[in-house]
């Protein structure tokens, strides 16, 4: 069965892909708005891990709406959630038997409720799988340490291909670089460079 | 890392074990009350799948309480939930780094809430993992068809090692065989006999 994992190059979507390759023919699929070329970092990790790779183009209107939500809220959670659900819709339209993401049990964002999952499956005749939704934070941290080569650093310095980088770019363009510090709390990100042998 | 999966010989706990063996040293652990020898069926499946196997003895008082709950309710859901949470507590007391079960996204019973999972982890310093909690019914059915050799039939005829058989035996002993038909709706069970090559 062919499965597409929504892929950022981060630890969660990488672990999701490694778990699922036991049962599926996995392609890593990186969603982007065409604003930056951050998606190429995910392509490099996919090559290092020897997975198939595809790009998924998202609707730029969704990026602008999400950037507006983040500026109004003063925090990124709801805007990122909007983009994630849009990316899953787009991925579900592709010809995969199943789609997946790296959502974890303890994530506050993005989250996909059971009702949202069922709706996605029914409308697109596809299985939606969240293989890490039964893993807590400590379990994921231990697996990362045991399985992955990673680089860790502040969000603005780490070469990931999640939506955040492009949303930051839109907000900086609309409201100046200062708006980013107001809306995005400092946090560290992890970027995967390979698997440990 | 050593991981114990609460194991019945059914399709869900078998798939859970197969998913987790990518990352953990998996032992299949079958919980029982010492009332019947149904646990030996799970040992046979574990041997066929070449997994380590252990028994986990549960508290007979919990079985009697659960049987009482089922007779009062007239349906098995709450009694089975009581037994499942007790079995997870007992499993968490063992020397595993992580414990797991076959709970699925669409299961009504047993369910382990995020708060219950976190509490189990904090009190026993163990990771609790529900690897199928991000898989819906259709995804599981497709994996079973692709991966497992199974036998399907009515609950009372299938040689599984879940709690239901022992709870049925207690209820029949206390209230006669007719009480079983009153409390347990007819449903089919699946017992795994091997993996497809």
To the nearest whole Å, the CA of A8 is away from the closest chain B CA by 19
Q: What is the pLDDT of residue B159?
A: 66
Please report residues of A whose CB lies closer than 8 A to that of B139: 98, 127-129
Given CB atoms, is B135 within the 8 Å cutoff of chain A? yes
d(CA A135, CA A108): 14
Return the ∠ at Cα B192 (arms to B188 and B195), rounded to 5°.
140
Does residue B77 have a pLDDT over 90?
Answer: yes
Please report residues of B whose CB lies closer than 8 A to that of A111: none
Q: Where is B86: in which H helix or E strand? A: helix B77-92
Number of other CB atoms surrounding residue B162 within 10 Å: 29
User: b/e string for A59-76 if b means 16 or more Cβ within 10 A?
Assistant: eeebbeebbebbbeeeeb
Q: pTM of this prediction?
A: 0.92
Q: What is the pLDDT of residue A156?
A: 66
Residue B186 pLDDT class (50, 70, 90 cuts): confident
Residue B164 pLDDT class (50, 70, 90 cuts): confident
Closest CB to A138 among B18, B19, B121: B121
Closest CB to A130 among B1, B19, B134: B134
d(CA A187, CA A177): 17
Q: What is the pLDDT along chain A (197 residues), one digit of tens a residue?
A: 999 999 999 999 999 999 999 999 999 999 999 988 889 999 999 999 999 999 999 999 999 999 999 999 999 999 999 999 999 999 999 999 999 999 999 888 889 999 999 999 999 999 999 999 999 999 999 999 999 999 887 766 766 667 888 999 999 999 998 898 889 887 778 889 999 87
d(CA A188, CA A165): 13
Residues present in chain A in total:
197
To the nearest whole Å, the CA of A37 is away from the closest chain B CA by 31
Q: What is the pLDDT of residue A162?
A: 75
Q: What is the pLDDT of residue B188?
A: 79
Asked if B138's CB is within 8 angstroms of A135's CB, the reply is no
Mean of the pLDDT values across residues B144-157? 85
To the nearest whole Å, the CA of B180 is away from the closest chain A CA by 32
Does residue B26 have a pLDDT over 90?
Answer: yes
Q: What is the chain A residue with the closest CA to B99?
A: A139
Sign of the CA dihedral B85, B89, B91, B97?
positive
Enter the tokens of residue B102: 């076959």
Sign of the CA dihedral B110, B23, B144, A25?
positive
To the nearest whole Å, the CA of B112 is away from the closest chain A CA by 10
Contact indicator for A55, A24 with CB cutoff of 8 Å: no
Describe the crossing of helices A77-93 and A114-124 by its angle, rounded to 10 degrees: 30
Closest CB to B118 among A129, A136, A143: A136
Asked if omega into A110 is within 30° of 0 (cis), the reply is yes
Q: What is the pLDDT of residue B74?
A: 94
CA distances for A60 relative to A35, A37, A64, A183, angstroms: 9, 15, 6, 20
Nearest partner of A147 among B32, B153, B24, B77, judged by Cα: B24
Asked if A103's CB is within 8 angstroms of B134's CB, the reply is yes
To the nearest whole Å, the CA of A195 is away from the closest chain B CA by 12
Enter the tokens of residue A88: 């899953």
Asked if B133's CB is within 8 angstroms of A127's CB, the reply is no
Backbone phi, then psi, for B189, in 5-degree steps?
-120, 160
Closest CB to A129 among B21, B121, B135: B135
Residues B93-109: tens digit of each pLDDT = 999 999 999 999 988 88
From the candidates B2, B19, B23, B134, which should be mutated to test the interface with A, based on the most A CB atoms within 10 A? B134
Calculate what percentage of chain B has a pLDDT beyond 90.
75
Closest CB to B19 among A22, A98, A121: A22
Does residue B155 have a pLDDT over 80?
Answer: no
Q: Higher pLDDT residue, B157 or B172?
A: B172
Q: What is the pLDDT of residue A100?
A: 98
Return the ∠ at Cα B148 (arms to B145 and B152), rounded to 5°.
75
């Amino acid at each position: 069965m062919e499965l597409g994992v929504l892929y950022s190059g981060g630890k969660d979507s990488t672990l999701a892909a490694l778990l699922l390759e036991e049962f599926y023919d996995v392609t890593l699929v990186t969603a982007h708005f065409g604003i930056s070329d951050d998606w190429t970092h995910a392509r490099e990790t996919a090559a290092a891990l020897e997975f198939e790779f595809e790009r998924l183009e998202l609707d730029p209107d969704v990026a602008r709406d999400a950037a507006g939500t983040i500026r109004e809220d003063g925090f990124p959670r709801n805007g990122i959630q909007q983009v994630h659900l849009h990316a899953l819709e787009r991925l579900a339209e592709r010809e995969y038997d199943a789609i997946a993401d790296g959502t974890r049990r303890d994530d506050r964002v993005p989250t996909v409720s059971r009702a949202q999952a069922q709706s996605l499956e029914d409308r697109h005749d596809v299985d939606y799988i969240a293989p890490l939704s039964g893993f807590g934070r400590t379990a994921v941290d231990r697996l990362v340490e045991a399985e992955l080569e990673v680089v860790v650093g502040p969000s603005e310095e780490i070469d990931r291909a999640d939506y955040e980088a492009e949303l930051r770019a839109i907000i900086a363009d609309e409201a100046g670089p200062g708006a980013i510090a107001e809306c995005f709390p400092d946090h560290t990100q992890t970027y995967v460079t390979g698997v440990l042998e």
